Structure 1
Amino acid sequence: MSAIIILKNTLSLATINNGELVSFIVNNKEFMHSKEAPGWNASDTEMFPIIGPTKNNDYTINTTNGIAKQDQHGLLRELSYQLISKNNTTVIFEKKYVKNTLVKNAKFSHKSTQEFLFWPYDFTFRKIISLTDTSIKIDFEITSDKGMPYMFGYHPSFKLSGLGTEIIKTEEEKITLNSILNVGSAAYKVLNIDEIILIKNNTPSLKINTKNFNNFMLWTEVNNMLCIEPITQYPLLKTQKYSEKNMRISTGKELFSVTISSL
C-alpha cells in the first residue's frame, strides 16, 4: 500500500503513515507528537492482546488454548497494516493473525530475551480513521474466537508546549504534568472514566472521548509530549501473570472508539 495517506476536511488535515496517525491539524494547529522530537519514537500505536510488560513471568500468558509468548504491549505492533479502503475523510486498515504463527520480536536481543512471539487464537484487527472539521475518530474492530482473553489499549502521543504547565482534567480530578512525570515508566492510571481534557495555557485544548475502554494511562518522561492512552485495564506491573481470570473475554467481535476533538 502507499505509505502516506492524507485525509482532508474544511478545517482539518490528518496524515497517516502505514496505519500510524502521525499528524492531526485543526486550523493550522498540530496536536500529534512528532516521532523525531524527544520523548518517544512514535505518534500512535496499539497495545494488543496484552498491555504492559511480561518479562517477570518469562513473557508467558496462560490461556485455555495453551500458553502464549508476548513481549511488552503485545505482538500486534509487530504486524503490518493492510489498506482496505479510503476516501477523502476516512481510511480503513486491517491486520490479520493466524493462531500460533511465530512473529519476530523487534526488541530481541537488545531489549528482550524472547526472540519470537505467538498467540493461540486467530484474530482480525481493523482500525478505521475518520476526519471531521474539528475532530478525528478512530474506531477499532477486533474479530476473534469467542472466549479469547485479551487486553487492548490505544497509545497516541500529543504535542505539548515544553513548559511543563499542562493539566489533564477529568470529572473527578486535575492532574499536573509533574504528577505524571513523577510516576515514571509505570504510567499514571485514571480508572473508570471515558473522557479526558488536555488544558494548555489555562485553556482547554483537546478532548478525548472513548467507548468500551473505560480507563486511561498517562505517560511521559519529557515536557514536550504526553501519551493519553485509553485502556481496557491497567497492567499487573509486579506479577505480570495474565490469564482468563484477569483479562477481558471476547464475545467474538469487540468494538472500541476514540474521538479526539480540538477545543
Structure 2
Amino acid sequence: MKQEYTSQAELINGDLRVRVEAGELRSFRRGDREYMHDPSEPGWGHSDTEMFPVIGPTAEAAYRVQVPRGNAIQDQHGLLRELAYSCTVREKDRAVFVREYKAGTPVANSKYPGRSTARLLIWPFSFRVEKHFQLGPGSLEITFRVEGEKDMPYMFGYHPAFRLGGEGSLEACGREFELSEILAAGDRALEVPACETVFLGGDTPLRIHTAGFGNFMLWSPDPGMVCVEPITYYPYTHGPARLHEGFRFLDSKKAEFSVRLQPAG
C-alpha cells in the first residue's frame, strides 16, 4: 500500500523555503523575503488554487457547461478546488500532492447557499491531478500532471496570489501593466494572451515562467496583492453560454503544465 503523508510539507534548498498546507502553497521565502500573499491579509482568503475542469463564471449559464457526455454542473473555476489533496511524496526539497475524482460523483459546493444556488457539482469524466513541488537552488518548480479519460474536455489554470510592495510593477511579453489597470478589470480579470513569462517588480521581484498554458489572467482585489494566473483559456472570450468553445481535449489521457517561480532580487 502506497504511503500517504500528512497534508503539510516544508521544503528547504539553500536560502529558499517553502511551506505547503493541504496542497496550497502558503509560503515561498528567500531569506526573510516572502513572495506569497498571506490569506489572513486583505484581498483574498487563499494563497493559491487551481481552476479545473473549467475556468471562469458559470452562474449566467445556470451552472451548466456543455460537454459531449452527460451532465456537467460546475461553479466558478470548476470543482477541483472542492476536492481534498493527499500528500504522496515528501522529501527535503520535493513534495507531491494528488486529487482524484470518479465520474458522476456529486461534490458539495462550498459556495452554496451564500454565494451560489448550485448545491452539488458534477462532472461526467474521471480524472486525477498531481501537483509536484520541486525546490531547486534558485527557484520553485510547480508541475501539474492531469490524467483522465481520453478525449475528456477540460480547461486548466493555476491561481497563485503574490504580495505586492513598493511600486508593484508588472511586465508581461514586452508590455508593462499598472496595478490600477488590473484593479479596474475587476472580477473579469485582465487578459494577457499568448504569453508565458511575467516579471513582478516592486519590493519582492519575481520572474514567473510557465509552460503548457499559453496565456495569463491578472486579478487583484486589493493593492497589497496580485494574482498572476496562467490559463489555457480566457473565459470571457465568448461568454458563459459558450464556455465549451474554450475546451482542450485529452488526446493521450495525460497533460502537463508547469510554473517556475524565480526570485529576481
SS in 2 for 1:33: coil
Is the Cα contact below 8 Å between 2:7 and 2:87 reproduced in 1?
Answer: no
Cα displacement (A) at 1:245: 3.8
SS in 1 for 2:65: strand
Give the partner amino acid of 1:68: A
- Give ranges in structure 1 of 5+ residues lacking alignment: none
Alignment partner of 2:54 out of 35, 50, 59: 50
Once the two structures are superposed, residues 193-248 of structure 1 have per-residue CA deviations (whole angstroms, 9 ceiling, x without a partner) of 110001116xx810000001010000002111000000001003773124654311
2:195 is matched with: 193
Give the partner amino acid of 2:7: A
Alignment map for 1:73-152 (pairs within 5 Å) = 73-152=77-156
| Distance across 1 between alignment mates of 2:57 and 2:257 | 23
Is the Cα contact below 8 Å between 2:171 and 2:177 reproduced in 1?
Answer: yes
- Give ranges in structure 2 of 5+ residues lacking alignment: none
Matched, 1:34 2:38: yes
1:246 is matched with: 246
SS in 2 for 1:218: strand
Query: Cα distance 1:160–1:220, how it changes in 2: closer, same or farther (>3 A)?
Result: same
2:259 is matched with: 258
Cα displacement (A) at 1:158: 0.3
Farther-moved stretch of structure 1 (59-68 vs 121-130): 59-68
User: How many residue pairs align between the two structures?
Assistant: 259
Query: Cα distance 1:243–1:40, how it changes in 2: closer, same or farther (>3 A)?
Result: closer
Once the two structures are superposed, residues 166-192 of structure 1 have per-residue CA deviations (whole angstroms, 9 ceiling, x without a partner) of 111122210011110111111011010
Alignment partner of 1:72 out of 73, 76, 91: 76
Query: Cα distance 1:147–1:159, how it changes in 2: closer, same or farther (>3 A)?
Result: same
Query: Cα distance 1:243–1:224, how it changes in 2: closer, same or farther (>3 A)?
Result: closer
| Distance across 2 between alignment mates of 1:87 and 1:3 | 13
Query: Cα distance 1:220–1:243, how it changes in 2: closer, same or farther (>3 A)?
Result: closer
SS in 1 for 2:240: coil
Give the partner amino acid of 1:153: G
Give the partner amino acid of 2:233: Q
Cα displacement (A) at 1:132: 1.5
TM-score when normalising by structure 1 = 0.95
Is the Cα contact below 8 Å between 1:51 and 1:74 reproduced in 2?
Answer: yes
